[in-house]
Structure 1
Amino acid sequence: MDVIALIARIVFSAIFIGAGIGHLTATQAMSGYAASKKLPQPTLMVQISGVYVLVASALLILGIWPDLAALALVPFLLVTAFVFHDFWKQSDPMAKQNEQQQFSKDLSLAGGALALFVLYAADPHPGLNLVGPLF
């Protein structure tokens, strides 16, 4: 079961690794989108969020405080869902549908991150961790 838990952490984190790399390699493009959503200092916020999700993902994959790493992803996902994927504000049907799907994806990922948090907070050993849970 340890190997399966490790594989689950890697697969779950893959989307965040991709997002973090995207934040750092396509900062200008992402900053424009962040600015359109009225995010203050969009370039800096895109860079900070990229590093944030990369660090949280690395900690989760490596099993270094996996409970904290999983919990750290939740605020990122909730902000992304409610600020960036505000489908209820869209008038174009295609844009509304796309934003609603992204909103749902982020909420689902937040639920998965919370489930991982509970798993690692309750049982410090699943998944070949380098360091046990913090909480």
Structure 2
Amino acid sequence: MDVVLLIGRVLFVALFLGSAFGHLTQTDAMAGYAASRGVKMARPATLASGVMMVLGGLSVLLGVWGDLGALLLFVFLVPTAFLMHGFWRETDPTAKQTEMVQFNKDVALAGAALAFFWAFSQDPGLTVTGPLFSMG
């Protein structure tokens, strides 16, 4: 079962590492979009979120304090859902639907991050380090 969890980790973090690459290489464009959604200090927020995704994603992928990495991704996802994908603010039906899908994706991924947090707290194997946080 360790291999199944490892495959899940790889699939889970692929999204974050790809997004982090965009945040860190196309910062101005990403920050412009964040600013248009009302994010204050959009450029530093874009860079910080990119770093969080890299650190959290690599931590989960490699199993180096994967519990901490999963928490980093959770802390990234929840505010992102509400700040960037506030479908309730949209008046255009298509935009509302698009933002609702993105909001729901972020909430679902936040749930998955919490599940990975728990899994890493159980010292699941195929990791470089044990858990940083003890759940027992």
Per the normalisation by structure 2, the TM-score is 0.94
Counterpart residue number, 1:133? 131
Root-mean-square deviation (Å): 1.0
Give a deviation string over 1:91-119, Cα, whole Å, max 9, x none: 00000000000000000000000011111
Give the structure, 1 or 2, with the largest relative contact order (CA under 8 Å, sep 6 or more): 1
What percent identity do the matched residue pairs reach? 47
TM-score of the pair, normalised by structure 1: 0.94
Unaligned runs of 5+ in 1: none
Which residue in 2 is equivalent to 1:10?
10
* C-alpha separation in 2, matches of 1:62 and 1:84: 29
What's the counterpart of residue 123 of structure 2? Answer: 124
- Runs of 4+ aligned structure 1 residues displaced above 3 Å come to none
Question: Please, which runs of 5 or more residues in structure 2 have no aligned partner?
Answer: none
CA deviations 1:50-91 (Å, max 9, x no partner) are 011111100111101111111111111011100100000000
Q: Which residue in 2 is equivalent to 1:90?
A: 90
Larger mean CA deviation between 53-62 and 38-47 belongs to 38-47
Residues 1-80 of structure 1: matches in 2 within 5 Å?
A: 1-80=1-80
Aligned residues: 133
SS of 2:11's equivalent? helix
